[in-house]
Structure 1
Amino acid sequence: MNHAKQLADLIRAADRVLVFTGAGISTESGIPDFRSPGGVWSKMQPIYFQDFVASREKRREAWTRVFNKSAGWVGASPNDGHRAIAKLVEMGKVTAVVTQNVDNLHQDGGVPDDKVIEIHGNASYAKCLDCGMRHELEELRAPWEADEEIVCVNCAGLLKTATISFGQAMPEDKMERATAEAEASDLCIVLGSSLVVYPAAGIPVMAVRAGSRLVIVNREPTDLDPYAHLVLNTEIGPLMNEVMEALETA
């Protein structure tokens, strides 16, 4: 059977679809992943959360990466995969999108913000480490250019991009919500994740344990492939275009 039709049939039969996305969906928009050759961490060392907090030099380096766009995490456009997910949300099939990505492309592609659970945060804005107030990046460019400490206008606490850094605690509220969505789903579709980074990769595991069918679409095999109802090692955007065509013509 045609793979796109197989996936379309699974979506059509499902009541609550959870989509779980990793770097592989955004590489199709030109955003580098983290761990592969040529990825972000092959070009620069991650700055650990404890070092960011303790060292002005490390904070300066982190903000320089932000404003020089060294990591390349923001500024790209959503692709067909992102737009297909947004359409499935609009159709009422996908109840939540749990993402490991920090690029804001799901929202840019049309998924309402309240449907996106960003378990690794978001690189498109900053948050205060003390009071949690959101700050837009362009507002912080002037103090960075002046080599000033970048602090919160509300409480003078340290600001950091709203990503979850190495050594930083995972957001409990988002993990709890992702867990609840996984356990309530009857179909979990993994798009572009190697499923090796935990605790994030545990979300599809929870879905399977709760009785959900699992679909994995990734360029390379994953450790969870044996537990999946369908595994497709292919490009996400072209596949999802075919899936949407199959759904719309049925």
Structure 2
Amino acid sequence: MDELVNFVAQSKHLFVLTGAGCSTESGIPDYRDAEGEWKHKRPLQYQDFIRSENARKRYWARSLLGWQRIALAQPNPAHIALACLERAGWIYQLVTQNVDGLHQKAGSRRVLDLHGRLDTVECLDCQWQWPRETFQQRLQEKNPDFKNFSAAIAPDGDALLEDINFSQFQIPPCEQCAGILKPSVTFFGEGVPSQKVKQAYAYLEDADGLLIVGSSLMVYSGYRFCRAAWEQCKPIAAINLGRTRADDKLFLKIPAPCSQVLPALVAQLGI
């Protein structure tokens, strides 16, 4: 902890990268175990969502059950501590791989949602967007039987709904052009918008240190910033349970829950 306090205290422009481990205490499961391996079946791939109506029906049926857990989730001590660090001037920019919006709920303002947000739905044809809560109501109206199913929550608003005939599930089309609707998030197998990546690199260029919070960095979209910081000779610290893809590049690693470490950090910094 003393080393982490010194690391943060000496950083005037800290770049923070957060992952799923930051939101687990809020009741949102993560994808990987302590070794960085998948805990569940691999998530739906972007190309499957685009090409297969059955895949889209399965996705939205499961999301119909899983969304409410995301909507009701509240920030945990890790999110709140990061917001405190930003207000105190320690955090220059926070880039999150999460799509739950909990950093903003906690009060963080300098947030780049690298993979988008689940609380918005977009049309793939005309790019029209609408709130997920509105779309949720449409899903429930068209599928009254499905909303009564129960299923365990899975990462990113998914639900473990299996052995169900999804063929009868109805997906509302875009109200503007009748096109295909998709949550405004980057799916596995889909590229992060280049403008977001460029913006994040610019923030990293101006930062003088990188703090990784709750991410194994197994996905390249997050790991790229760690590699770039290492190439720029910027110090890198991580708070993460288990192995990360960048263990050989870390100046400091604390293998403990970020919801415990970050509040302790805030207290020791006297914020």
Q: TM-score normalised by the shorter chain: which range applies? A: 0.7 to 0.9
Q: 1:36 to 1:223 in 2, by over 3 A?
A: closer
What does 1:47-126 align with in structure 2 at a 5 Å threshold?
47-69=44-66, 73-112=70-109, 115-126=110-121
Q: Which amino acid aligns with 1:239?
A: V
Tell me the alpha carbon deviations over residues 172-206 of structure 1, each in whole angstroms, 9 at most, x when there is no partner: 11111111112221011001111211132111221
Unaligned runs of 5+ in 1: none
Letter in 1 for 2:119: S
1:36 & 1:124 partners in 2: Cα distance? Answer: 26
| SS of aligned partner of 1:200 | helix
Identify which of 183, 186, 208 aligns with 1:164.
Answer: 186
- Cα RMSD (Å) of the superposition? 2.4
Whether 1:132 and 2:127 are equivalent positions in the alignment is yes
| In 1, Cα distance between equivalents of 2:222 and 2:212 | 12
Stretches (4+) displaced over 4 A: 41-45, 70-74
- SS of match in other structure, 1:169: coil
- What does residue 181 of structure 1 align with? 203
Contact 1:74 1:104 in 2 (8 A): no
Please say if residues 17 and 222 of structure 2, whose CA atoms lie closer than 8 Å, have aligned partners that are also in contact.
no
Q: Please state whether the residue corresponding to 2:221 is helix, strand or coil.
A: coil
**Aligned equivalents of 2:71 and 2:191: distance in 1?**
23
Post-superposition shift, 1:214? Answer: 0.7
Q: Which stretch has the larger CA shift, 186-195 or 149-158?
A: 149-158
Q: Does 1:244 align with 2:258?
A: no
C-alpha contact (below 8 Å) 1:74/1:123 kept by paired residues: no
2:191 corresponds to 1:194: no
8 Å Cα contact 2:31-2:40 kept in structure 1: no
Amino acid at match of 1:118: D
CA contact (8 A) 1:195 1:222 kept: yes
Specify whether residues 222 and 141 from structure 1 end up closer, same or farther in structure 2 by C-alpha distance, changes over 3 A only: closer
Q: Aligned pair 1:11/2:8, yes or no? A: yes
* Residue in structure 1 matching 2:22, options 1, 22, 25: 25
Q: Which has the higher contact order (CA 8 A, sep 6+)?
A: 2
Q: How many residues align?
A: 242
- What's the TM-score once normalised by structure 1's chain length? 0.87
The farther-off stretch of 78-87 and 214-223 is 214-223
Task: Tell me if the contact between 2:83 and 2:103 (Cα under 8 Å) persists in the aligned partners.
Answer: yes
| Structure 2 gap segments, 5+ residues each | 143-168
Mapped to 2, the partners of 1:94 and 1:151 lie a distance apart of 41
- Structure-2 separation of matches of 1:131 and 1:88: 39
Structure 2: how far apart are the matches of 1:144 and 1:181? 39
Q: Name 1:235's counterpart in structure 2.
A: 257
> Percent identity among equivalent residues?
32
> Structure 2 length as normaliser, TM-score?
0.80
Q: Evaluate the alpha carbon distance shift between residue 222 and residue 33 of structure 1 in structure 2; reply closer, same or farther with a 3 A threshold.
A: same
1:209 deviation in Å?
A: 1.6
- Mapping of residues 207-226 of structure 1, within 5 Å: 207-226=229-248
